[in-house]
Amino acid sequence: MIEKALKGSSFYWGWLVFLLAIIAAGALAFIYQLNVGLGITGMGRDVSWGIYIAQFTYFVGVAAGAVMLVIPKYLHHYTRYAKIVVFGEFIAIAAVIMCLLFIIVDIGQPQRMLNMILHPTPRSILFYDMIVLCGYLAINIICGYNTLLADKKGVPCPRWVKPVIYLSIPWAVSIHTVTAFLYAGLPGRHLWLSAIMAPRFLSSAFAAGPSLLIMLLLFIGRFSKWKPDPEAMQNIARTICYAMIVNLFFMAMEFFTAFYSNIPAHKYPLQYLFFGLHGHDQLVPFMRFAIAVGLVGVFFLLVPAIRRNPVGLALATLFVFLSTWIDKGIGLILGGFVPTPYETIVDYCPTFPEITIATAIWAVGAFILTILFKVAISVREQQIS
């Protein structure tokens, strides 16, 4: 089946070469980082995690988002998703691989990584994160590959795959819950020390993952012979809308708790992110922009006339994707570290090599996604002809 990725237009090949060039640049930057140290990044003793871990967190969410198609299709037998589900699973595969890469580039001694298995430590949340992420990758490869292969042959999916698909549902919830627990269980990091951290993560995941899927499906609809079912996309858009409203609501709850209780340590991170603290306001425009586009995205999704318009739908999902990306892929990690344990403020800014490495991992994700989508689209095109 994978051989279908070897035949494509010059645009397809050009795109792959373009991605490879970015990956090569990132690989060079990574070698530089390996030789010199993580000091080439903007991280420091106070903000000790930066965009690597922030992107990791965000893409765990994108990966978990696939479950929003699996549940209707396999638990409610909603057949309109039958042809689309595999694209969600393929996004999950690419996203989980990105997550693993972001971890690898973030750690100081990547060659010692297998110490995680050599010295398993069940009291550490990272131990569980490793298990759930690797497991989720395996599950999605198994489900995605087998369902697509069955589609290609025109036979029903093998029966043994069904339980794996059902397993993927709680597993998707687990990856983002465990990832939230990485942060929510730390004393003294007030932005993270919140019981709704995991629900917040899940709601933003269920908005972000499907948003990316819609954008890609709209793109596929324009450029391939196979046209994704518009009604199915409308339903995914409704799911995104609900999830995004819940996500914004949860964010408002964080504001209420911090500001009504008036406990300084709980207010500081939110003040730093959204209003600026002691003159440090570099993140304020980003965070406000995130809220604004999030609200606009929800509005676009709520109004049927806009949602039914492909341009409106594309914009709405783009806004939701951007909003959740800024919130989780930038603000969440930095707000956890600032103010520092000494209640001082340290601004973090990623460096050029750091951004190059992160971009290259995005390119790896795009590369995997392109190939997987190419295979899936070829199968769908073959089905119509």
Partner 1 sequence: MKIDRRKFLKAAGVSALASLGGKGAWEILDPGAVDAAEHGGHGHDKAKESGPKTRWAMLVDMRAMTEEKADKIREVCDFAHNIPHWDDPERELKWIWKEEYEHVFPSSYNEYISDDIKAMPFMLLCNHCDEPPCVRVCPVQATFRRPDGLVAQDYHRCIGCRFCMGACPYGSRSFNWFSAKVALEKEEGRKINKEFPVRTRGVVEKCNFCVERISLGKQPACVEACPDVMHFGNLADSESEIRKILRKRMSLRRKLELGTHPMVFYLV
Minimal distance in Å, beta carbon 305 to partner 1? Answer: 46
DSSP 121: -
Minimal distance in Å, beta carbon 266 to partner 1? Answer: 11
- Asked if 334 and 283 count as a contact pair (C-beta separation under 8 A), the reply is yes
Minimal distance in Å, beta carbon 163 to partner 1? Answer: 22
- Asked if 209 and 62 count as a contact pair (C-beta separation under 8 A), the reply is yes
Minimal distance in Å, beta carbon 45 to partner 1? Answer: 6
Closest to partner 1 by CB, 141 or 265: 265
- Asked if 376 and 75 count as a contact pair (C-beta separation under 8 A), the reply is no
Residue 78 pairs with which residues in a beta bridge? none
Q: Is 188 left (phi over 0), alpha (psi -120 to 50) or beta?
A: left
- Asked if 93 and 372 count as a contact pair (C-beta separation under 8 A), the reply is yes
A 10 A CB-CB count for 234 gives 16
Q: CA 50 to CA 269: how far, in whole Å?
A: 16
Residue owning tokens 């971009």:
359
CA distances from 105 to 24, 255, 332 (A): 15, 33, 20
Residue 280 pairs with which residues in a beta bridge? 277
Closest to partner 1 by CB, 68 or 103: 103
Pseudo-torsion of CA 88, 90, 92, 98, nearest 10°? -140
- Asked if 60 and 99 count as a contact pair (C-beta separation under 8 A), the reply is yes
What are the residue ranges of helices labelled H in the chain?
Answer: 10-36, 51-64, 67-70, 85-106, 115-118, 125-153, 161-184, 197-223, 230-261, 264-274, 284-302, 304-308, 310-326, 332-337, 352-384
Closest to partner 1 by CB, 156 or 185: 185
Q: Is 52 exposed, middle or buried (0-12, 13-18, 19+ CB in 10 A)?
A: buried
Minimal distance in Å, beta carbon 123 to partner 1? Answer: 5
Closest to partner 1 by CB, 38 or 82: 38
Each residue of 53-64: b (16+ CB within 10 Å) or e? Answer: bbbbbbbbbbbb
Closest to partner 1 by CB, 125 or 215: 125
Minimal distance in Å, beta carbon 141 to partner 1? Answer: 24
Minimal distance in Å, beta carbon 35 to partner 1? Answer: 9
Minimal distance in Å, beta carbon 63 to partner 1? Answer: 20
Closest to partner 1 by CB, 11 or 342: 342
The contact set with partner 1 (CB under 8 A) reads: 36-39, 43-49, 103, 106-110, 112-113, 115-116, 118-127, 130, 182-183, 185-189, 265, 336-337, 340-344, 346
- Asked if 192 and 179 count as a contact pair (C-beta separation under 8 A), the reply is no
Q: CA 378 to CA 356: how far, in whole Å?
A: 32
Closest to partner 1 by CB, 229 or 347: 347
Closest to partner 1 by CB, 135 or 221: 135
Closest to partner 1 by CB, 136 or 183: 183
Minimal distance in Å, beta carbon 127 to partner 1? Answer: 5
Residue owning tokens 């994700």:
365
Minimal distance in Å, beta carbon 67 to partner 1? Answer: 26
Closest to partner 1 by CB, 59 or 373: 59
